[in-house]
Amino acid sequence: MEEEKVGGGDTDAGPSSNWAELTHVCLINILSRLTLEERWTGPMFACRSWFSACKDPVLHSVFDLETRFDLLAESPRWWTPEFERGIDSMLRSVADWSDGSLAEIKTRHCSDRSLSFAAERCPNLLVLSIRSCPNVTDDSMCRVAFRCSKLRELDISYCYEISHESLMVIGRNCPNLKVLKRNLMNWLDPSQHVGIVPNEYLNACPQDGDSEAAAIAKFMPNLEHLELRFSKFSAKGLGSICKGCLNLECLDLSACANLTSRDIVNLTSNLKNLTRVIKPNFYIPRSVFHTERYGHWNLYDERFQTDVFRI
């Protein structure tokens, strides 16, 4: 709407306020009480002075769309190029407006384009959560590693174009990293994703679990929280992590199908700070897999509760 139409005019109750004439400090005070979504769907389009206030760096230390994503049921539309372009546009704008003050990025379905842009402009980034980003690759992650060395938390769950190479570079260049989340989608029973996630993406699930485990073990020794749900790494990979990441306090191994209870107990015994370990907690019918390949499943019957996650 036009600036002169915001506020102004008289009402039966007396003269009304001209909201467009609020000082910049007052506007920032008001806008800081709104969520990112609320600012983008209203005040930003009210008038020129409000739009200018919405771009103030003080409002852009955090870019959090993950909270909104968590409230909604996942939609096939999120996996379309059009949706990705919209997320990219928002992230690029916020990274630009932040003037280097952006410390947290929490979103989904962005791409290399916006993430590389953000990495170049946000050297003070501390938290990066980019779950379900099919077009984020090692290229932009290397830019993050070299430009955002203060990074403390990283969530690259369901990002299948990111390989162990990124884990190596991030580990080398971000020594303060304490939290890593590298969860995969449910490849044991992908039916929950069918019709939402493109089939070709589901089929691209990373197979190099032990390579990723080795990279984590060698280059991320200061980790305290590690999530590897549905990872395909073996006891060898877990052994590497337990030798290289001695500061671990929380280890999430939910649905890591290649690990047994005995593996987990034996290999984590040297982690003195470990206060929480989440073991594979599910049941797989014998008809699903060849017993000669997955004969160790009989261990789960004895050592794991099987009523929480059933396939």
Intervals of CATH 3.80.10.10 along the chain: 60-303
CA angle 299, 301, 303 (to 5 degrees): 65
Q: Could you read off the pLDDT tens digit of each residue along the chain, which spans 311 residues?
A: 344 344 444 445 444 556 666 676 777 777 777 787 778 777 777 777 778 777 788 888 999 999 999 999 999 999 999 999 999 999 999 999 999 999 999 999 999 999 999 999 999 999 999 999 999 999 999 999 999 999 999 999 999 999 999 999 999 999 999 999 999 999 998 998 999 999 999 999 999 999 999 999 999 999 999 999 999 999 999 999 999 999 999 999 999 999 999 999 999 999 999 999 999 975 554 444 443 334 443 434 333 333 332 32
Please name the residues in contact with 183: beta carbons below 8 A apart, sequence gap of 6 or more.
157, 158, 227, 228, 229, 230, 231, 252
Count Cβ atoms below 10 Å from residue 265 Cβ, excluding itself. 12
Specify whether the CB–CB gap between 145 and 174 falls below 8 A: yes
Structure tokens at 184: 């995969």
Strand, coil or helix: what is 156? coil
Please name the residues in contact with 138: beta carbons below 8 A apart, sequence gap of 6 or more.
161, 162, 163, 165, 166, 169
Name the architecture of domain 60-303. Alpha-Beta Horseshoe (3.80)
Reference 148, options 110, 86, 211, 105; nearest CA is 105
Calculate the dihedral angle through the C-alpha atoms of 64, 70, 74, 78, rounding to the nearest 10 degrees.
Answer: 0
Q: How far apart are CA 60 and CA 97, in angstroms?
A: 7
pTM, 2 dp: 0.82
